[in-house]
Amino acid sequence: MVEMLFRRYFVEGSDIGNVETLAQAAADVGLDRTAIEAFLAGDEGGNEVQAEEAAGRRLGIRAVPYFVINGTSVLSGAQPPEEFLAAFMEIEVGSVVGKAGA
């Protein structure tokens, strides 16, 4: 579905915020179009989205992409692979030190 939405938006220039566009994309990848339309027309999942938004505000997220690794805010914005490696290494070192002190 993600690939379909990327193609619709970036290649075809479709409005992926439009319910009809989303429902057709869902049908094109084999999802039940009627169920998708009902979901998009309702408020199911709204509480979960609001909880995620609140968590993002608490973490100070102001840009995307934003990566939270191991419960700690680590990287904001597009980063080279070396930055991810350094973040993972920091977490690994911290977990080894934590175990040694236990």
Confidence of residue 75 (pLDDT cuts 50, 70, 90): confident
Q: Is the pLDDT confidence value at 84 over 80?
A: yes
The more confidently predicted of residues 93 and 26 is: 26
Q: Are residues 51 and 65 in the same domain?
A: yes
Alpha helices in the chain (DSSP H): 2-6, 19-28, 33-41, 46-59, 81-100
Q: Are residues 63 and 85 in the same domain?
A: yes
Query: Would you state the pLDDT for residue 60?
Result: 83
Query: Would you state the pLDDT for residue 96?
Result: 53
In angstroms, rounded to a whole number, what is the distance separating the alpha carbons of residues 90 and 74?
10
Q: Are residues 55 and 36 in the same domain?
A: no
Instruction: Report the number of distinct structural domains present in the chain.
Output: 2
In angstroms, rounded to a whole number, what is the distance separating the alpha carbons of residues 49 and 51?
5
* pLDDT, mean over the chain: 87
In angstroms, rounded to a whole number, what is the distance separating the alpha carbons of residues 44 and 46?
5
- Domain housing 23: 2-41
Angle ∠(33,37,42) on CA atoms, nearest 5: 150
In angstroms, rounded to a whole number, what is the distance separating the alpha carbons of residues 46 and 55?
14
Q: For 39-73, write each residue's pLDDT tens digit.
A: 999 999 999 999 999 988 888 888 888 888 887 76
Q: Is the pLDDT confidence value at 101 over 70?
A: no
